[in-house]
Amino acid sequence: MTDQEFAIQYLNAVEKRYKDYFAESNLSIHNCVDIEGENIVSVHVINNDLPFEIRHDIEMMFWVK
């Protein structure tokens, strides 16, 4: 599994964990982040309206701000 595949699986799990938010907002986690790279992956939150808990889960996993 590549780092990019891992990142996508992790983000899908975050979306599943907060499924109520994403359903109510009519969003996908992939509308809220930018994934760059394949071997060395960086994930950047591009939706500033994400609740703190979701943003925190992503930032803690990928060390982004």
Q: How many domains does the chain have?
A: 1
pTM score, whole prediction: 0.88
The range of the structural domain enclosing residue 43 comes to: 3-62
Quote the pLDDT of residue 64: 54
Quote the pLDDT of residue 28: 97
Quote the pLDDT of residue 1: 85
Quote the pLDDT of residue 65: 47
Quote the pLDDT of residue 43: 93
Quote the pLDDT of residue 26: 97
Rounded distance between C-alpha atoms, residue 4 and residue 24, angstroms: 27
Tokens of 27: 């969003």
What residue ranges of the chain have pLDDT lower than 50? Answer: 65
